[in-house]
Structure 1
Amino acid sequence: MPAIVERRAQLYVAERATLASPEFPRLADRLPPLIGTLAAHGVAPAGAPFFRYRVLHPGMRFIVEAGVPVDGGFAPEAPAFADELPAGRYVLETYVGAPAGLAAATASVLEWGAAEGVEWDRREGPDGEEWGCRLEVLRSNPLEVPDPAQWVTDLLFRVAGS
């Protein structure tokens, strides 16, 4: 069952893409080089990598970021950029399984929120549904946990008014 948690603001470095679900590996494949760039500059990740969904376009297209939390400032070279995840109250649900099940897990969280009267930090924009902060935090390293059925992903959705 989802829980509401408080999160502090978190700096991060990321790359952004507009893509459809089948194209998602193109962005996911940017995480290892991004982590490598940080390491080459002596910057250790300050947490697990994540995907941040910025805009959900009609027709299952997304503006999404592949990000890595960092402590302190780091100015990456384009196409990477630095930003900050906002502090606030978030709904947290932990999903265990292959990425193919994330859409259903997300739908369950959104349905739970609707039943509980949760107002999400989102609005309708000119290009689709814009989220203040909606994350998939990748808790499992595929090199250490090769079976996707055992991967752990935290789903985090910022609550309005946080």
Structure 2
Amino acid sequence: MLSEPISGHRNERHYVAIAKTVHMHDIPDTLPPLIPVVKQWMQERGIEAAGPDFFLYKSMNDRGELDCEAGFSVGQAVGGDDLVIAGSFPAGNYASLVYTGDFKDMMQAHVALENWIKSEGLTEKKVEADGRTDWGGRTEFYLVDPDFEPNPDKWQTEIVFQLED
């Protein structure tokens, strides 16, 4: 199930994450295990999460390999290290919707948001060249944690794409 898409301005949000390059088919096996590693790293440093965990998709090549980050928003800028990087979602305009359901069917939410952006006359922030797409930011925020809600029909994920200003 999909919510009605919306667009609007968002302020800058800092985060910590682990960066990984992964083939799209390997996302379910590769990215989720990074979340507890980031969470432990934060706990060891007394850093509180300022939102749910997320996967940020930064780019994809024509072989289906994605440059991703898995992490948590934090309340203020912090330093990273060799394992965990610090970054930020820049201030700007974003389009989003909430997908409710099993992660295996989430691609439909991405396609629906892409189509809505086009139908509204908006433009996603991205650069396409030489078989590679670099996005301004495509993020999945996991609003309902599967560790606490075993029914995948109740899982909720906010899908967010950065727009051109």
TM category (shorter chain) comes to over 0.9
Structure 2 counterpart of 1:18, from 14, 17, 21? 21
> Where in structure 2 are the equivalents of 1:114-125 lying within 5 Å?
114-125=118-129
Unaligned runs of 5+ in 2: none
Are 2:134 and 1:134 equivalent residues in the alignment?
no
2: CA distance, partners of 1:33 / 1:19: 17
Aligned-residue offset at 1:126? 4.1
Partner of 1:7: 10
2: CA distance, partners of 1:127 / 1:59: 8
Paired residue type of 1:100:
K
> Where in structure 2 are the equivalents of 1:75-154 lying within 5 Å?
75-126=79-130, 128-154=132-158
Do the aligned partners of 1:53 and 1:133 also contact (CA within 8 Å) in 2? yes
Tell me the TM-score normalized by structure 1: 0.93
Backbone CA RMSD of aligned residues:
1.4
> Where in structure 2 are the equivalents of 1:20-35 lying within 5 Å?
20-24=23-27, 25-35=29-39
Mean CA deviation greater in 4-13 or 73-82: 73-82
Aligned-residue offset at 1:134? 1.2
| Percent of residue pairs bearing the same amino acid type | 25
Deviations 1:5-24 (CA, angstroms, capped at 9, x unpaired): 22110111111111112211
Deviations 1:94-134 (CA, angstroms, capped at 9, x unpaired): 00011111111101111121122111111114451111111
Aligned-residue offset at 1:77? 2.4
Are 2:164 and 1:160 equivalent residues in the alignment?
yes
Secondary structure of the 1:95 match is: strand
Structure 1 counterpart of 2:63, from 59, 62, 82? 59
Q: 1:125 to 1:13 in 2, by over 3 A?
A: farther
